[in-house]
Amino acid sequence: MPVPEKQISLEEHVRELDSELSGLICAIGGMTVPLRNEFPHRLMGVQNAPNKYGEVVAELDSWANGFICDSLIKTGLVRKIYSEELERPLTYNASAPFVVTLDPLDGSSNIASNNPFGTIVGIYKKDLPCKGSNLVASLFKLYGPITTIVLAAKKGVHEYVAHRKGGHKYVLLHEKMKLPEKGKVIGFGGDITDYPDAIYKYTKILVKEKKLKLRYCGAFVGDFSQVLHYGGMFMYPALKSKPEGKLRLTYEGIPMGNIVEQAGGASSNGKISLLDVMPKNVDERTPVYVGNRELIEGIKKALT
């Protein structure tokens, strides 16, 4: 990845945002290296109790959740945290400006095999549940071979990397990212034999006619990042046995929908933008389709 000669730190780059928002984003950036450094020491074991969705929780998952929540509290800027790993939201100082959503370790089934996983964050002023169009910012971190942060805070989508030229702090890597016009890759989750016929047919069109290359890593953050860089599409669709899909609207679909839309792409639940869906509750699931506009239009058409 080419790092520009002049290093612009995350702090400098977000300075034009309001000071409370830039303070929170910098604090979230600052917790990345200590969090990542701890991963190898937290690999063993699972928690005794499953999470609120009945899923097994890796020790790393619950530790990461605790670490991120504690670090968020210390900023004094957060009044409520909704996390995929918490039964109920955590509430603090009622006068603090922000409400934060957290998928602390997205793609945690990749932990054991040492494949990519990440963190997804949504930042609001309004309390939840509310539409994604109320987001003030969203970001994801990808703990791949290199740990990157991708941020959308109303002024486009930017990617940052911790670089020695910036004193090992996060510096700008790509500014105002846009999905390449012609998409190259497709990733899709779920059992394809369980896909509704229209989706199965469209998948074949994407691969056979549109010549998208199939690449699926099993973590939303990783599958999303390749769409952002190479163009194409990611979907975790409605399934015959699970029409609501697998991914969570508030914790996953909305923050990533905000990023893809600000990068010139589109997001959808099969009908409308993920940012226009009014969640009934924060744990609601949704089919997720994100990528180049033309491809998302295609899936919407296929589903009508």
Here's the x/- map for Mn ion, 77-116, by CB under 5 A: it reads as --------------------------x--x----------
* Whether the Cβ atoms of residue 296 and residue 268 lie closer than 8 Å to each other: yes
Stretch that binds ligand F6P, among 91-99, 134-142, 152-160, 212-220 (CB under 6 A): 212-220
Among residues 173 and 235, whose Cβ is nearest to Mn ion?
235
Say whether residue 104 binds ligand F6P (CB under 6 A).
no
Say whether residue 115 binds ligand F6P (CB under 6 A).
no
Stretch that binds ligand F6P, among 39-47, 75-83, 218-226, 270-278 (CB under 6 A): 218-226
Q: Which does 289 bind (CB under 5 to 8 A by kind): ligand F6P, Mn ion, none?
A: none
Please work out the total of residues on this chain that contact ligand F6P, with binding judged by CB under 6 A.
11
Q: Which does 30 bind (CB under 5 to 8 A by kind): ligand F6P, Mn ion, none?
A: none
Angle at 176 between CA 79 and CA 162, to 5 degrees: 65
Here's the x/- map for ligand F6P, 234-273, by CB under 6 A: it reads as --x---------xx--------------------------
Nearest approach in angstroms of CB 141 to Mn ion is 12
Nearest approach in angstroms of CB 107 to Mn ion is 6
Say which residue the tokens 């639940």 belong to: 269
Selected from 218, 230, 283, 294, the binder of ligand F6P by CB under 6 A is 218
Nearest approach in angstroms of CB 59 to ligand F6P is 17
Contact footprint for Mn ion (CB under 5 A): 103, 106
Contact footprint for ligand F6P (CB under 6 A): 106-107, 109, 189-190, 218-220, 236, 246-247
